[in-house]
Chain A
Amino acid sequence: MTVTEPASESVAPPAGPVVKVTDAWKLHKLGDEIVRALVNVNLEVRTGEFVCLMGPSGSGKSTLLNIIGGLDRPTKGTVEITGRDTSKITESQFAALRHDTIGFIFQSYNLIPFLSAVENVELPLMFEPYDRKALRQRATDLLNLVGLSHRLDHQPAKMSGGEQQRTAIARSLISNPTLILADEPTANLDHRTGEVVVQTLRDLCSELGVTVVASTHDPAVAEQASRVVRMKDGQIQAE
């Protein structure tokens, strides 16, 4: 796996855990009822780990991922990303942290329909003053990395689900992140395509030292992980 110089400043791997969730609770109000989406969750993820959050629907996997990525905030408890306590930073500071440190992969890919594959990969850095040629080269290299060198100019509608998800993986890497959060990355894919996507995520951990936290229902995905965290009713049941 070789790519050109990262378009953003590379972040040195943290000495401590990349992710540290301490006593995190997430409560939602649903009418008169209080729903406990997360209950006293504690989790540490170290550099280069591929951690799978497993559990049935409604077990709190996605909520935990969203809280780690700052898309949502815990009702109680703290989340540290690369040693930085995110409960003490503003939304815009968290956005900057996400931009530099975290890559997201979504279940439904969330590619921009009117952009080509290479433009979708460039998207997170399109609004920054990077050299356009260098950015294009890096995006091209990342698409090569995920085996999509033949799809650079294709729009999402002209790509298969697996190709769209691999484009989303390439997009998550454009800022050279320390951490990738993947929410059910294989849920919309057939078994064989899902295997390719999981293998790609695994390669990112082993060869680029990226830390991956993924949620899944699929035991085949969990088998590839370096650690499996089982969740039920918003709680971590076992590791």
Chain B
Amino acid sequence: MLKYGLAYGLLSSQRRAREMLLPAITIATGAFLVVIVFAMSAGIKKQAAGLGHADEIGHAIVLIAVTVLLVGVVEAAVATTRTIAHRTRELGVLGATGVRSRPVLVALLVEPVVTAFFGALGGAVVAAVAGVVLSAVGAAKSGVSASGTTTGIVIAVAVSVVAAAVTSVVPIWRAVNRPPIKSLSAS
């Protein structure tokens, strides 16, 4: 049954791509910042070490990265809440026709995960390109490291996808198990 939920989720993600654009852009913004921070962190640490403040600067960079990731998590949760609100009547119809909860849960989880993946990947790629351009024109005095960029991309995409899935499960499960009459009467 779950594979049919997955198939329905992929179909709806494909057809609802326009609705997914805004949440994807907000997630992309978070991913962009994460990758930029990681890409420049090695150079900044190096400069800070020269000034004798490596530890403080290192902690500050980690703090910035964590904050940016938390913003990404909140963005993923907000996007899911918005998606559920838009699809309440659809859930009511599925409930009224007696479709089981689990495949519907899977179907609705696909959209935030796909949004998070493509949003984060898009933001990360733009950040990587921006890093190369900034480095080439000499605008990044501390330098942009390839390994930091790669780490940033992996972390941004992984955290966005996991955060989207984790923050979506509970609200989607609640929505799926809401009495169909309530979902159908929602405006």
Contacts and interface: CB of A to CB of B under 8 A. Distances in A.
Interface string B77-115: 000000000000110111111111101100100000000
B180 interface: yes
A128 B97 contact: no
A67 to B, nearest CB: 10
B151 interface: no
Contact of B90 (A66, A112, A124, A126): A112
Given A112-B90, A114-B16, A128 B4 contact: yes
A156 to B, nearest CB: 12
Contacts of B174: none
A96 B4 contact: no
Contacts of A189: none
Interface in B144-187: 179-181, 184
A100 B100 CA distance: 12
Nearest to A106: B184
B16 A127 contact: no
Interface residues of B, number: 28
B95 A95 contact: yes
A71 B97 contact: no
Interface string A127-143: 11100000000000000
A95 B96 CA distance: 7
A97 interface: yes
A114 B12 contact: yes
Contacts of B7: 126
B118 interface: no
Given A104-B96, A128-B1, 6 more contacts: A99-B99, A110-B92, A119-B11, A123-B97, A126-B99, A129-B4
A72 interface: yes
A95 B98 contact: yes
Contacts of B89: 110
A95 B33 CA distance: 46
A120 B100 CA distance: 17
Contacts of B184: 71, 106, 110
B143 interface: no
Contacts of A115: 11, 15
B99 A124 contact: yes
Contact of A72 (B101, B104, B181): B181
A123 B94 contact: yes
B179 to A, nearest CB: 7
B16 A100 contact: no
Nearest to A91: B179
A92 to B, nearest CB: 8
Given A71-B179, A106-B184, A112-B93, A124 B98 contact: yes
Given A72-B181, A112-B93, A126 B8 contact: yes
A111 B94 CA distance: 11
25 contacts: A71-B179, A71-B184, A72-B179, A72-B181, A91-B179, A95-B100, A97-B98, A98-B97, A99-B97, A103-B97, A106-B184, A110-B89, A110-B93, A110-B184, A112-B90, A123-B97, A124-B97, A126-B7, A126-B99, A127-B5, A127-B8, A127-B103, A128-B1, A129-B1, A171-B97
